Structure 1
Amino acid sequence: MSKIYVIHENDDWTQHLINRFEELELPYETWHLDKGLVDLSSEPPEGIFYNRMSASSHSRGHRYAPELTGAVLAWLEQHNRTVLNGSSALNLELSKINQYAALEASGINTPKTIGAVGRESLLQAAKKLDKTPFITKHNRAGKGLGVQLFHSVKALENYLDSEEFEEPIDGITLIQEYIESPDSYITRAEFVGGKFIYAVRVDTSDGFELCPADACRIDDKFCPVGEEEERPMFEIIEDVDRNLIAKYESFLAAKQIDVAGIEFIQNADGEVFTYDINTNTNYNSEAEAKAGKFGMLKLAKFLGDTLHQNK
């Protein structure tokens, strides 16, 4: 029987999609690739395959899930199976350097970034960047892994020599110019089937943990703005630059990415910088309920339509 196969490593992030499959009575199977095998002498089952492997899988004890997923995707693509968010998407998911290089090549502005391996190289990168403040982040990351703000090279040096320094899983730390939003928020544009579905404004006044999934939320804190007004951490908005969205859609089509959340920030001068492409995107239930827009439902319908067209 032909069905939808979901490749992943996090049950919490996949359950909402499963619920939508069952609601729509769509046939599905999940492949949890924290471990397993790839038999190159066999043929894959019939159906369509949706990859939502995460760059942060190692933070959940699934160190080699991305590598196993890469092997499985190569096997599926060898047999001409329909793969959504295939090898090209995985390549970008696992490396912010790859993301920035691809975005810049497409004419999409990114923050100035230098990748480095080793203590001395990191200090050299910070000096070469010649911008303060600056941030560090992991090249293979997600969930804000390794993000720290520094106001001087000396502060970075002290951090590197401390027990607080967090070694990135692929060894590459990024030194990046700090883009400050005057209103303390970033925007995440969501795409399904390569097409824009909505944008969500994310309040960053409380730090860099920006994962919108319910499973990422520690509590329901709200950031006070003024004495009586409050704003939620995640809020779906209507006011978004449609020219930028068109650039993103063209970029996703060129890179064969079907599902993504793309994050960008605007500085005080109105300049927009794109700094993250998340190809295993998740959605916040509170923001969606308020706006009446539902990403996982849209995704499930898209996968169902793709399955039907594939028969």
Structure 2
Amino acid sequence: MSDLLLLYEHPAWFAPLFGALDRRGIAWSALHADGHFFDPADPVPPAPIVFNRIAMSSFLRQAEHPIFYAQALLAHWAAAGVRVINGADTLAVDASKARQLSLIARLGLAIPATRIVHRAADLPAASEGLRFPIVVKANIGGSGAGIVRYDDRDSLAGAVADATVPDSIDRVLLVQEYVPVRGRAITRIETLGGKFLYALDVDGGGSFDLCPADVCLAAPGKPAIAITETTPAPRLIEAAERIARAAKLDIGGIEVMIDDRDGSPRFYDINALSNFVANPLDVLGWDPHERLVDWLESLIVEAKA
């Protein structure tokens, strides 16, 4: 049995992590979700520590995605005594923008004004009281998928009538005020073990796909985005750490934007699948994978104690 098992779906995203683990000599193994099955009566854990690396965008790559399967699998392993990193509870939050916004608002932090529906027909009524333009979002998205902007109520109503509004694989939709972002860049605050790791300002030039990782940036047709390291205000770092702890987020990114209308920071996304920034040595001057492996090594030591 290896000391660490990585459950993953994307075939290329984790090469930097795999390489960092190999360089440290850690006894690890990787398990691709496809082709896997489990016996709910089997109490034997696969490894002392399991690192969940299932992406919400997996539904874009295959209809038979592992998002909901992984929640059941990770919960089963946790019940068998496994230390699951970004476990079933975290994955359930990652898989629901509605739950993310509720969690953030419960912490007393500002979010974009939002309404949640389960039928597209209810979007126009739900948009009453919201300032246009608005966006309709799939509850489960990834890399900007399932987000469409509507500049007025008539265009939204027309899209509903034409059945061209976004859909979500769980049939939950958000209608949300489009926030004009001050300086155009959103800030992505990465956390590890519930603590601040680094932050990026990401300017997508109006695109909703703001994934800053290597494979995302190399994707065909991917709009150019500008990425710079930043140091957020202490109150934003503290807020992101509170969100991470409330979401049981062992590692991941918290996204916030400054509303140009009133200067309010509005938190809007919790992302449990962080691939880290492309070209980290150029952008940050250091490689966050090394910090991640430091942390994983400490968990392995604890598990063996």
Name the TM-score, length of structure 1 as normaliser: 0.90
The DSSP-based 3-state class of the residue aligned with 1:285 is coil
**1:186 Cα shift?**
0.3
Q: 1:286 aligned to 2:279?
A: yes
Q: How many residues align?
A: 301
CA–CA distance in 1 between the matches of 2:275 and 2:130? 35
Query: Superposition pairs for residues 92-107 of structure 1, below 5 Å?
Result: 92-107=93-108
CA–CA distance in 2 between the matches of 1:289 and 1:62? 36
CA–CA distance in 1 between the matches of 2:6 and 2:264? 37
- 1:103-139 Cα offsets, whole Å, 9 max, x none, are 111122111111122232012112x243111111110
Mean Cα displacement is larger for which, 246-255 or 45-54? 246-255
**Corresponding residue to 1:296 among 270, 275, 289:** 289
Residue of structure 2 in register with 1:132 after alignment: 132
Structure 1: which 5+ runs fail to align?
224-231
CA RMSD of aligned residues (A): 2.0
The DSSP-based 3-state class of the residue aligned with 1:67 is helix
- 1:267-295 Cα offsets, whole Å, 9 max, x none, are 22320000000001122223542321322
Q: What letter corresponds to residue 247 of structure 1 in structure 2?
A: A
**1:192 Cα shift?**
1.2
**1:222 Cα shift?**
8.8
**1:164 Cα shift?**
4.8
Preserved contact between residue 88 and residue 257 of structure 1 (Cα < 8 Å): no
**1:23 Cα shift?**
1.7
Q: 1:7 aligned to 2:10?
A: no
- 1:154-199 Cα offsets, whole Å, 9 max, x none, are 1112333447543221111210011111311100000112111110
**1:307 Cα shift?**
1.0
CA–CA distance in 1 between the matches of 2:144 and 2:25? 35
Preserved contact between residue 34 and residue 62 of structure 1 (Cα < 8 Å): no
The DSSP-based 3-state class of the residue aligned with 1:260 is strand
Q: What letter corresponds to residue 76 of structure 2 in structure 1?
A: W
CA–CA distance in 2 between the matches of 1:136 and 1:38? 37
The percent of aligned pairs where both chains have the same amino acid is 28
CA–CA distance in 2 between the matches of 1:86 and 1:15? 21
CA–CA distance in 2 between the matches of 1:133 and 1:45? 49
Preserved contact between residue 236 and residue 287 of structure 1 (Cα < 8 Å): no
Judging changes above 3 Å, is the alpha-carbon distance between structure 1 residues 169 and 150 closer, same or farther for their aligned structure 2 residues? same
Name the TM-score, length of structure 2 as normaliser: 0.92
Query: Superposition pairs for residues 181-260 of structure 1, below 5 Å?
Result: 181-217=181-217, 218=219, 233-238=226-231, 240-260=232-252
